[in-house]
Amino acid sequence: MLYPKMTKSRMVFDLNGVWDFKLLQQGEKGILEQNQIFKDMIPMPVPSSYNDIYEGRKFSDHVGDMLYQRNFVVTSQMLYHRLLLRFGSVTHKAEVWINGTLVGDHKGGFLPFQFDITDIVSEGVNQLTVLVNNIVDNTTLPAGRLEYQRFPGMEEELLNLPNFDFYNYSGIMRPVVLYTAPKNHVDDISVYGKQDGSFFWAVKVKGQGKIDVKLLDQKYKEVFAGEGNEGNGRIDSVCLWDTEHPVLYRLAVTLTGEDGTIDYYEEEFGFREIEIRDCRLYLNGKPIYLKGFGKHEDSPIHGRGFDMVYNVKDVALLKWIGANSFRTSHYPYSDEMLQLCDREGILIIDEVPAVGLHTGFTATGLLGGTPNGTWTTLKTAEHHRQVLRDMIERDKNHPSVIIWSVANEPASEEDGAKEYFEPLVKLAKELDEQKRPVTLVTYKGSNPTTCKVAELCDILIINRYKGWYEIEGNMRGAAALLKEELEGFHMRCPDKPIMLGEYGADAIAGLHDLNGRMFSEEYQVEFLEAYGEVFDSLPYITGEHVWNFADFATAENVKRVNGNKKGVFTRERNPKMAAHFLRQRWK
């Protein structure tokens, strides 16, 4: 899906700002169908998570529907074009209404969707209403569970238990825009370039017309011209995209419609190749070692709401600390973050929101129910295909994206795991023209003996917390066991690179201890140091992603002290001792 950009044939109108908002109680959404006016609406910023804007647990932890509303104006000029309404993300389900008519709906909280609303709007003021639902259950990604709880003398309460370790922030969390495009317009572009200067393009069109393409270099100089909906080209003296010199080119596409109208769009991309051979990951033919983090889109007050200030700050901190990569744990991040990483040369493992696919395990013990029941209990397979398809369609042209992650910590040791994931891995490979490596990030229950998916992965990415959730306080022992396990994976898959996708210890910023006890900043350093020594002793280890970049909000439970404190930076992005340690190690 193309990012909405202003070009010489397209206009973009910003619908962000302060909308009207209301939490709906069960049954209340019926009012929408009757087109009645909602009372008691309160101001709500868009984009943002709704949760931390007003006080009260009842507000933050609301389960179910909520309503967003605003007016927008359509001018007579706008109606000469097609009008598309695009949401960067609405978590987790959305119904979009205009002037009392249902325009469409969307499931999945972390990817964009759009509707052509040309025939629904009229000149002048129009009313836009978005009904949002934040429930996670065994049909959604991420997965969760709905449960009714009753205490003596109290009314029954509906609880939504996330099967994942991050707060279930929701609402209209990424930008909303209205944009125009000619009746015959460019619907999608696929483009990628190789090391030898050759490149490939494919353009999808809504309507009819003729396609002309130009390749523009960093200085907007035309270096190639061609035509056709699909084609190949080649340029001389190509500048490759890499982490040091993230050089971007633009494919400028012109569609001349049957009616003589022109649509114009420029898509950025890079010339670069990712390859796996002999247990190593190669970028443009050179081995690359991934240093970085599992992250979250998370910040105070905004929650998971889009925040360009935090995005730029985070990339600046990645550079400061000497990291070259991160994983979009545990959902696809905003388009704008990926664009920033293209520009700054940060490598991304792009992950679908498939987390919590385990009925018997969560890191925090929040759920933990039927062992061995995952693949018969969850009803996510179809939706999983959909989000994987949507993510690859949205992100395929980003040079920063180097690996697709199909899930985080699923029940990959249970019967049925291989059958569930094999078609998904195949789908990712089919959809991606670049054939990027595909992986599944696995957890401790999925060890060299029990794992049922290792052979499906091009690179093994494993999460381990030895020295934290087990073998507490004994880093030497933990490191010895870690090494033994990594050797086990290498024996099983001798040709595959292996990296740690998560490893880390909670540290409360400012808590110090001479003996380096758990939760102190000293222990966090000792933990990372011990893991680092193991990685350095094993030649097939191809990367280290510390959990987590920054402290982040989670649901309440005894293992979380006002959120997850495994951040190397605090939630406000101040460094802990571990940040200085990693900076030395990585630089």
In what side-by-side order are the strands of the sheet with 198-206? 185-193, 198-206, 230-234
Quote the least distance from Cβ 143 to ligand BDP, whole Å: 13
Tokens in use for 310?
């935090």
Q: Is 409 a catalytic residue?
A: yes
Question: Is the separation of the CB atoms in 262 and 254 below 8 Å?
Answer: yes
Closest distance to ligand BDP from the beta carbon of 11 (Å): 40
Q: Out of 409, 521, 522, 526, which one is annotated catalytic?
A: 409
**Distance in Å, CB of 44 to ligand BDP, minimum:** 28
Kindly state the greatest CA–CA separation across the chain: 78
Asked whether the beta carbons of 211 and 254 are under 8 A apart, the reply is yes
Size of the site for ligand BDP (CB under 6 A): 11
Residue 484 catalytic? no
Mark residues 537-556: x for contact with ligand BDP by CB under 6 A, - for none: ----------x---------
Cβ proximity to ligand BDP, 165 vs 314, nearer residue = 165
- Specify whether the CB–CB gap between 432 and 397 falls below 8 A: no
Residues 400-419 that bind ligand BDP (CB under 6 A): 408-409
47's tokens: 């984009």
Helix axes 577-586, 521-536, angle to 10 degrees: 20
Using CA atoms, how far residue 551 sits from 242, 375, 378, 576, in Å, is: 29, 32, 30, 10
Of 435 and 559, CB closest to ligand BDP: 559
Question: In the complex, what is the shortest distance from the CB of residue 382 to ligand BDP, in angstroms, rounded to a whole number?
Answer: 24
Instruction: By CB under 6 A, name the one of 49, 442, 463, 520 that touches ligand BDP.
Output: 463
Return the number of the residue (251 or 403) whose C-beta is nearest ligand BDP: 403
Instruction: Provide the mask over 358-377, with x wherever binding to ligand BDP is found by CB under 6 A and - wherever it is not.
Output: -----x--------------
Tell me if 217 sits within 8 A of 167, measured CB to CB. no
87 near 114, Cβ under 8 Å? Answer: yes
Work out how close the CB of 564 gets to ligand BDP at its nearest, in angstroms, rounded to a whole number: 5
Any idea how long the chain is? 587
CA 468 – CA 524 distance, rounded (Å): 10
Among 52, 95, 502, 522, binds ligand BDP (CB under 6 A): 502
| Catalytic choice (95, 267, 502, 544) | 502
Shortest distance, CB of residue 587 to ligand BDP, whole angstroms? 26
| Residue 455 DSSP symbol | G
DSSP letter for each residue of 91-121: ESEEEEEETTEEEEEEE-SSS-EEEE-TTT-
Q: Which residues from 114-173 bind ligand BDP, rule CB under 6 A? A: 165
Binds ligand BDP (CB under 6 A): choice among 62, 145, 436, 566: 566
CA distance 86 to 94: 12
Q: Enter the tokens of residue 458.
A: 């091009």
The answer to the question of residue 314 lying near ligand BDP (CB under 6 A) is: no
Which residue's Cβ has the minimum distance to ligand BDP? 363
46/352 with CB nearer ligand BDP: 352
**From the CB of 92, what's the least distance to ligand BDP, in Å?**
17
With contact defined as beta carbons under 8 Å apart, do 467 and 505 qualify?
yes
Closest CA to 169 of 142, 138, 129, 131: 142
Least distance (Å) between residue 499 CB and ligand BDP: 15
Which residues within the stretch 322-351 sit at the binding site for ligand BDP (CB under 6 A)? 330
Q: Are 70 and 13 in contact (CB under 8 A)?
A: no
Under 8 Å between Cβ of 281 and 287 = yes
Beta strand pairing status for 101-107 and 65-74? unpaired
Q: Which of 564, 575, 578, 582 binds ligand BDP (CB under 6 A)?
A: 564
Enumerate the active-site residues.
Answer: 409, 502
Rule CB under 6 A: which residues touch ligand BDP? 165, 330, 363, 408-409, 443, 463, 502, 547, 564, 566
